[in-house]
Amino acid sequence: MKIKTKFFGEIEVEEEKIINFPNGIIGFENLKRFILIDHPGSETIKWLQSVDEKDFALPVVEPVGFFPDYAPALCESDLKKLKLGSVEDGVVLAVLTVPQDVERTTVNLKGPIVLNPHERLGAQLIAENPEYKIKQPVAIFNKKET
């Protein structure tokens, strides 16, 4: 199927690549279907693009690449809804906030996006870890990755 996107124009999407978010994303509960798109020129950044709303896409990264000890404590019942035995069985992503001054980029460690790629299920969950912040500074951009 073809979908329209704000940043990538019209793209072809295989039906089996669509990830279903039964509860949507926090603040955007009406958006239920997403795909992951690689950011051009970056091995680190991906985009969580809504299939149904071309203007909605979130830049995401795997937080362990920047915070090796990142281990979100997540509600067991939330993981069961994703058909995951533990968080390690899924893919954990964190949403980036990139301001005009890219050196002030932050990552949301408090509200990770958790995916079960085998079941094509996803959810934004809340980490119970008190030390994790919604706006954790992260040095992600260098001259090669802007």
Mean pLDDT throughout 21-47? Answer: 94
At residue 19, φ and ψ (nearest 5 deg) are: -105, 125
* pLDDT on residue 30: 97
* pLDDT on residue 140: 77
CA distance 74 to 107: 18
DSSP H/E element including 79: helix 76-81
* pLDDT on residue 42: 87
Confidence of residue 142 (pLDDT cuts 50, 70, 90): low
Q: pLDDT for 114-137, tens place per residue?
A: 999 999 999 999 999 999 999 999
Q: pLDDT for 92-118, tens place per residue?
A: 999 999 999 989 999 999 999 999 999
**What average pLDDT does the structure give for the chain?**
93
Mean pLDDT throughout 2-14? Answer: 92
* pLDDT on residue 143: 40
All domains in the chain, ordered by first residue: 2-137 (2.30.290.10)
Query: Among 79, 72, 82, which Cα is nearest to 119's?
Result: 82
Q: pLDDT for 37-70, tens place per residue?
A: 999 888 899 999 999 999 999 999 999 999 999 9
